[in-house]
A and B are shown apart, each in its own frame.
Chain A
C-alpha cells in the first residue's frame, strides 16, 4: 500500500484537485467568448467546461504507465486505481454539495453542478482512453471533447447541442446519465487490470 501511495503521487493529485475546487467555485461562472462553428454566431463558453480537465489529467499523470511488476502484485492495484478515481469525483461532489443545496451563498450552483458532472465525464473518458490507447494518449480524448464542444457545441439559439454534455445545463438529465455511464465504463475498464489475462 505504501508503494502504491508513493507511485500514485497522491500529494500532487490532492494539490491539483484542491486547486480545481478553488478555481471552479471562484471562477466557475466566468465565460470565455470563443469562435463558434457549430451553428451559433457567438457563444460565451463557461470556464467550467475546461477546468475539470485539470484533475482528470492529473489523475492519469499520477497513475503513470503501469509497470510489469504490478501484474504480480498481491494487492488489487487496478481496483485501488479505480477507487482513487472514484475518490476524486466523490470528494468534488462532497465539496460541491453545500453549494448545490444552496447552503452557501456567493457561489453559483451552476458552476458546482457542472464541475461535478464534467469531472465525472472527463475522468471516465480519460480512464477509457487509458484502457484503449495507453496512458500517454489517454488524456487526449477528454481534451478533444472539451475543445470540440467549445467550438462546435452550441447551436443557433446559443444553447448546447444534445451531444455537448459538458456545455449542457445542469438540469439536462442526458448529460448526467451519459457522464455517469462513461465514468462507470472507465472505472470498470481500469479495474479489469486485475483480472487474469486471457
Chain B
C-alpha cells in the first residue's frame, strides 16, 4: 500500500524554499548572529536557531496554504481511503523538510563563520527548535483548515512572526523564554540555562495539542469515517488541559530568569597549562591559543610582581570567584586579538580586583563630598588600569593612542620616573581608587 504520495513540485514549500533560505542566510550572517560567535557551540547553536523567527512563520504559512488546498479540494467531503494523519502528513512532510533544511542551513552558515569549533552543536537546543517548528506547522495547518487560504496564510505569516519577535519587548522579562529556546545565550563564560530550553518546547507542545484538537474538530478536515459525537469535545478538553499544564510548567521553569537564559559555565570545561608557576586556564574553544596565552600571562604576572602586585595562583577565563588568588583573562579565537589585547584584558580585570580587595586603610584620605570622591576614584581606577597594562607588557604607544589624554597625562609622567616613585604612585592611586562610594 502506498502510504504517502508526495508531489514536491505542487507543494507550497518548494517556491517558499529559496526565499526562506536566502533570508536565513542573510540573518545568520548579520551582526545579530555573527557578531561574537568565537567558536563556542552552545552560543552558536542558540544564535542559529534564533532564525526560527523567520523559519516558523514561513513554514506555518506553507502549512496553512496546504490545508487550504485540501479544503478547496473538499477531500473531507469525500470518502478518503487514508486517515487524517496520513493525509496531513503527505501535505506537511515537504513543509517540515523545508523547516529542518532551513535550520540545518542556519547551523552550517554559523559554523562557516567560526574559526574553529571544538565539539558539536548543542543537541538540546536543536531538539527544542525542532519541537517548536513542528508545533508551528501544526498550528498553521489548523488555521488553514478553519479559515480560507486568502485569510489563513497572511494571518499565520504575520501572527506567527509577531509571536516570535515581539515577546522580547514585553514585561515580564521571562516571557521571551517561552517562545524561543536559549534566548540571549551565551558568552563564553556562561552556559545555557536548561529550563529555558525546555520551557519553549513545553509551550510548543501545548500549542500543538490545541492545533491538533482544532484541526480534528473542523468538519472540513479530511478523515476516514466520522468521529463519534463526544470525541471532539473530549479531545478539545484534553487539548486545553494539556496546553494549560505545559504552559504552566514552562512558566515555572523560566519565571526567575532575567533577559538572558544563562547560568555559570562549569569550571570543569576549562583547559589548563602550568608553564612557570602560574596556572593558566582557558575555555576549550580557545585551547589552540593556550600556549600563547600562558606565555603572555606568565610574563605579565612576573612583570607585575616586580612592581609590588602579588602573583595569583591561577589566571582563568572563568569569571567565577575572582580575587587576589585568581585573576581573569579574556581570550578570543580571532587572530586580530593579539598579545597586547590579552595583557589589557588581564590588567583591566586585575584593576577591579585590586580596588575591591579588602584593605585596612579605611576611607580617611577620601574627599568628604561623595561626588568628588566618586569622580576621583573613577579617574584613579582608569589611570591604574593603564599603568598596570603598560607595566605588564603593553606598548606605551598603543596605550597612549587608546586612552583619553586626560587619563594618560599623569600615567605618562609617572612612567618616566624611577621604579620606587612608580611603586609609591601605584599605592597612592590605589588608595584613591578605593574611595568609590559604596
A114 at the A/B interface (Cβ < 8 Å)?
no
C-beta contact mask, B146-169 vs A, less than 8 Å → 1, else 0? 011111011101100110011011
Q: Are the C-beta atoms of B158 and A135 separated by less than 8 Å?
A: no
- Within 105-141 of A, Cβ neighbours of B (below 8 Å) are at 135-140
The chain B residue with its CB closest to the CB of A44 is: B169
Report the separation of the CA atoms of residues A33 and B165 in the bound assembly, to the nearest whole angstrom: 8
B30 at the A/B interface (Cβ < 8 Å)?
yes
In the complex, chain A residues whose CB is within 8 Å of the CB of B157: 140, 143-144, 147
A24 at the A/B interface (Cβ < 8 Å)?
no
A139 in complex: contacting residue of B31, B53, B151, CB < 8 Å: B151
Report the separation of the CA atoms of residues A32 and B161 in the bound assembly, to the nearest whole angstrom: 12
Q: Are the C-beta atoms of B53 and A35 separated by less than 8 Å?
A: yes
A60 at the A/B interface (Cβ < 8 Å)?
yes
Q: Are the C-beta atoms of A61 and B161 separated by less than 8 Å?
A: no
In the complex, chain B residues whose CB is within 8 Å of the CB of A177: none
Q: Knowing A37-B26, A136-B68 touch, does A60 contact B150 (C-beta < 8 A)?
A: yes
B120 at the A/B interface (Cβ < 8 Å)?
no
The chain B residue with its CB closest to the CB of A58 is: B151
Report the separation of the CA atoms of residues A41 and B35 in the bound assembly, to the nearest whole angstrom: 12
Q: How far, in Å, is B69 (CB) from chain A's closest CB?
A: 9
A87 at the A/B interface (Cβ < 8 Å)?
no
B169 in complex: contacting residue of A33, A137, A142, A146, CB < 8 Å: A33
Q: How far, in Å, is B282 (CB) from chain A's closest CB?
A: 31
In the complex, chain B residues whose CB is within 8 Å of the CB of A61: 147-148, 150-151
Chain B, interface size: which category?
20 to 34
Q: Are the C-beta atoms of A147 and B158 separated by less than 8 Å?
A: yes
In the complex, chain B residues whose CB is within 8 Å of the CB of A138: 150
B305 at the A/B interface (Cβ < 8 Å)?
no
In the complex, chain B residues whose CB is within 8 Å of the CB of A37: 23, 26-27, 30
In the complex, chain B residues whose CB is within 8 Å of the CB of A64: 148
Q: How far, in Å, is B52 (CB) from chain A's closest CB?
A: 12
- Within 33-61 of A, Cβ neighbours of B (below 8 Å) are at 33-35, 37, 41, 50, 53, 57-58, 60-61
A135 in complex: contacting residue of B23, B53, B150, CB < 8 Å: B150
In the complex, chain B residues whose CB is within 8 Å of the CB of A57: 150-151, 154-155
Q: Are the C-beta atoms of B154 and A35 separated by less than 8 Å?
A: no
Q: Knowing A57-B150, A61-B148, A147-B161 touch, does A33 contact B155 (C-beta < 8 A)?
A: no
Q: Are the C-beta atoms of B153 and A143 separated by less than 8 Å?
A: yes
C-beta contact mask, B261-296 vs A, less than 8 Å → 1, else 0? 000000000000000000000000000000000000
Report the separation of the CA atoms of residues A165 and B76 in the bound assembly, to the nearest whole angstrom: 42
Q: Are the C-beta atoms of A53 and B165 separated by less than 8 Å?
A: no
- Within 65-80 of B, Cβ neighbours of A (below 8 Å) are at 68, 72
Q: Knowing A35-B53, A50-B158, A143-B157 touch, does A136 contact B72 (C-beta < 8 A)?
A: yes
Q: Are the C-beta atoms of B150 and A136 separated by less than 8 Å?
A: yes
In the complex, chain B residues whose CB is within 8 Å of the CB of A137: 149-150, 153
Q: Knowing A32-B162, A32-B169, A147-B161 touch, does A139 contact B26 (C-beta < 8 A)?
A: no
Q: Knowing A136-B68, A136-B72, A146-B158 touch, does A34 contact B153 (C-beta < 8 A)?
A: no
Report the separation of the CA atoms of residues A65 and B161 in the bound assembly, to the nearest whole angstrom: 27
Q: Are the C-beta atoms of A143 and B158 separated by less than 8 Å?
A: yes
Q: Which of B30, B31, B154 has most chain A Cβ within 10 Å? A: B154
> A61-B148, A61-B150 provided; 5 other pairs, C-beta below 8 A?
A34-B165, A136-B148, A139-B154, A143-B158, A151-B23
Q: Can you report 28 residue pairs joining A to B where beta carbons are below 8 Å apart?
A: A32-B166, A33-B169, A34-B166, A35-B53, A35-B165, A50-B162, A57-B150, A57-B154, A57-B155, A58-B151, A60-B150, A61-B147, A61-B148, A61-B151, A135-B150, A136-B148, A137-B149, A137-B150, A137-B153, A138-B150, A139-B150, A139-B151, A139-B153, A140-B157, A142-B154, A143-B154, A143-B158, A147-B157
